[in-house]
Structure 1
Amino acid sequence: MRITWIALLCLSLVGCGSEGGKTGAAAEAQPEQTFSWKLVTTWPKNFPGLGLAPEHFAENVARMSNGRLKIKVFGAGQLVPAFEVFDAVSQGTAEMGHGAAYYWQGKIPASAFFTAVPFGLNAQEMNAWLHYGGGLELWRELYEPFNLVPYAGGNTGVQMAGWFNREINSMADIKGLKMRIPGLGGEVFTRAGGMSVQRSGGEIYTSMQTGEIDAAEWVGPYNDLAFGFHQIAKYYYYPGWQEPGPTLELIINKQALESLPDDLQAIVESAARAANQNMLDEYTARNNAALIELVETHGVQVKKLPDDVLAELQRISTMVVDEMAAENPLAKRITDSMRVFAKQSKAYHGISEEAYYKARGQE
């Protein structure tokens, strides 16, 4: 039987659209690969704002991927303790984590820059620096040795300075004060004569109630009301010099991320950006209502830190950041990048955001 060149060509192809080749409609009918991930957090399960952000992130990923990537969220202590999130994701115990970079300052001192720098960038400026000023690239370079890929995963806006059981009228009132205050703010507080104590959010109430600590900063009215701090502390101070633009992080195990097809990686990135902005929107909307309740219903005394105290804290902050920048070349590059960006941002915001607030205040 004579075989034509067309038949030979057809036979040389994989099935030429036949049953064995699984091409065309048959191939399209094959189910796409699915993935199941674990996401561990430093927050109590479903805690308002902070704890719900990873939940919403996971829901969005599932919806956008049509169920191809399902992420189960574990609160602090459910799978790993709050302060073991970094190691769990680095080692692959969980594919993802949600927390704050300054919790890992003992392991990576420069990680604190990616949560907040005292008297540094605010939320709007942090987001801009990370996504358009080279900050995210520096962050990923810092985490590269730990097998992690970080994304911005939320921001609460400028926080409160914290809850105190004594009035702060001068720097002398800080001497000997034991305060839950992490990150660079904690280092500054210690240099100012106080004592920085590390506690997860779920441990703060009991620590203050038992007198283990004298003061604590957490977030702001929305979260502080939920934790009931007004029941154990009398004075609520502002402004949050220690965390002006506190950025939270979503960290992903590098191998887990690279195992995803391109479209799912893009979905993860988009969902992270949405979670980051959504948290800032929520805190902007909810903080003032919570503050009103704290003052009018619970009788909380809201006080401003004295100007001379803020000036001294800023002086110490500059010294602490300078010392960290001198520790290694990457820390210096991060510091220099942030400071250049802050200077540029301040120049424009002086005639835009700041000028507008002043103008609106005249109404």
Structure 2
Amino acid sequence: MIKHSIMTIAKLVTVGCVLFGTAQTHAQSKAPTVLTYSDHQPLNGMRMHFLNDVFFPAVERESNGRLKIETHWDGELAIAYEALPSLSSGKTDISVIVPEYKAKEMPLHQIFKGFPVGPSGAQQVKFFREIYDEVPEFNQELDDNNIRPIFLSTGFPASFFGTKSLPNLQQIQDQKWRSASFWHLDFLKSAGAEPVRMHWGPEVYDALSDGHLDGILVNIDSAYNLDLHKTAKHSLISQKLWLGHLYIIAINNDVWAKLDKKDQHAFNRAAEYAYGLLGDVMDKSYADMVSTIEAEGNSARELTDAEIQAWATTSDFASHQRRWAEALPNNSEKAIDAIDRVGDILKKYND
């Protein structure tokens, strides 16, 4: 699956080079500005390969070689929970930021995962771009941390993986289900399951295998990467099962301010180019993963639209959102207003 995705990306990059030209032939004799990029994950998944093989080359191409991105993977410069302070302080120039790892510093960004249903692929890309265009509080929250977004990399849909027969979602009642998201734990509890917190790693596979867990609500690529589909062999899937996971590719504000305007515009053009490709690549990767887990013995049944709507109702998400916002130490009204505006935009993509 990953190899197929890399081949797809490589073809898209080849097309991009034909359309935009190979910038290195026009590069200035002056040494390029080298910007360090930090990522907590290794270079072995769709998101990382898309950045490495599509977005970053586009930045270098659009800047006519004036910019060079020096990539550092697998937490070489900063682990996941240190990514934000490292970028805010200028220890790194560019980094992937995962909002849920810094809920205190980025409270409003937690809202995205508080909805059970949403778009995927190109529509998900459009949704997040519209959010940052229409709801200024999100950009302000990033600015308060001395960073700004240069590319919004989105995640795959969620899926239910169970160790027992899973004919429908009612089956999870009274069962032990794990999720990493506090929103999803609340949703599971509303659906009658016993929500379980557990560190992410091989122990999740072991807990599913030995019966300490009955199932897991997780993004399909994480399940695939940890081989959970081989022990939790019954799954309910849909591209409408919203995870709301966002990987913000951000740059330090001071670094951005020092860039020439033409190089800032180069980043913007590179992002436009990459956004035009991301949805299709994600859809192909999702289809590949589904085909693979089915071939390896997982049942992988597609949920109907009626079942998706029933899940949204059962999750009681609106009540959980209000309780979360009201419990914030500051700006509860601001959070409620942001929830309402995000919800209004999301409705357009769910209709």
TM-score (norm 2): 0.73
Max Rg structure = 1
Distance 1:51 1:129, change over 3 A: closer
Hey, what does 2:194 align to over in structure 1?
194
State the match for 2:321 in structure 1. 321
Partner of 1:220: 220
Counterpart of 2:337 in structure 1: which amino acid? Answer: R
Are the counterparts in 2 of residues 181 and 216 from structure 1 also a CA contact under 8 Å? no
- Preserved CA contact (<8 Å) 1:35 1:69: yes
Q: 2:287 is matched with which residue? A: 288
Partner of 2:344: 340
Query: What residue in structure 2 maps to residue 299 of structure 1?
Result: 297
Is contact 1:34-1:67 (8 Å) kept? yes
| Backbone CA RMSD of aligned residues | 3.5
Change in 2 beyond 3 A, CA 1:77/1:125:
same
- Larger RCO of the pair (alpha carbons < 8 Å, separation 6+): 2
User: Which residue number corresponds to residue 232 of structure 1?
Assistant: 231
Partner AA of 1:55 in structure 2: N
**Displacement of 1:300 after TM fit?**
0.8
Question: 2:176 aligned with 1:177, yes or no?
Answer: yes
Alignment coverage as a number of residue pairs:
312
Which blocks of at least 5 consecutive residues in structure 1 are unaligned?
A: 1-29, 350-363
Q: Report the CA distance between 1:49 and its aligned residue.
A: 0.6
Runs of 4+ in 1 over 6 A off after TM superposition: 305-310
What residue is the counterpart of 2:44 in the other structure? 47
- Alpha-carbon distance in 2 for matches of 1:282, 1:129: 17
8 Å CA contact retained: 1:164, 1:235? yes
Corresponding residue number in structure 1 for 2:57: 59
Q: Which residue of 2 aligns with 1:358?
A: none
Encode CA deviations 1:227-253: one digit per residue, 9 max, x unaligned. Answer: 433333212222366525544321221
Verify: 1:204 aligned to 2:208, yes or no.
Answer: no
Q: Take 1:291 and 1:189, find their aligned partners in 2: how far apart are those partners?
A: 23
1:127-166 equivalences under 5 Å are: 127-132=125-130, 134-135=133-134, 137-156=136-155, 159-166=157-164
Counterpart CA distance in 2 for 1:183 and 1:257 is 34
Structure 1 256/189 Cα, relative in aligned 2: closer, same or farther at 3 Å? farther
**For residues 61 and 308 of structure 2, what CA distance do their matches in structure 1 show?**
49
Unaligned runs of 5+ in 2: 1-27
1:48 to 1:302, Cα distance in 2 relative to 1, 3 A? same
Q: Match for 1:91 among 89, 92, 117?
A: 89
Q: The residue matched to 1:161 in structure 2 has which SS?
A: strand
Shift of 1:89: 1.2
CA displacement at 1:146 relative to structure 2: 1.2
SS of 1:51 mapped into structure 2:
helix
Q: CA deviation at 1:179?
A: 1.1
Residues 126, 304 of structure 1: alpha-carbon distance in 2 compared, 3 angstrom cutoff: closer
Provide TM-score, normalisation by structure 1.
Answer: 0.71
Contact 1:119–1:243 (CA under 8 A) maintained in structure 2: yes
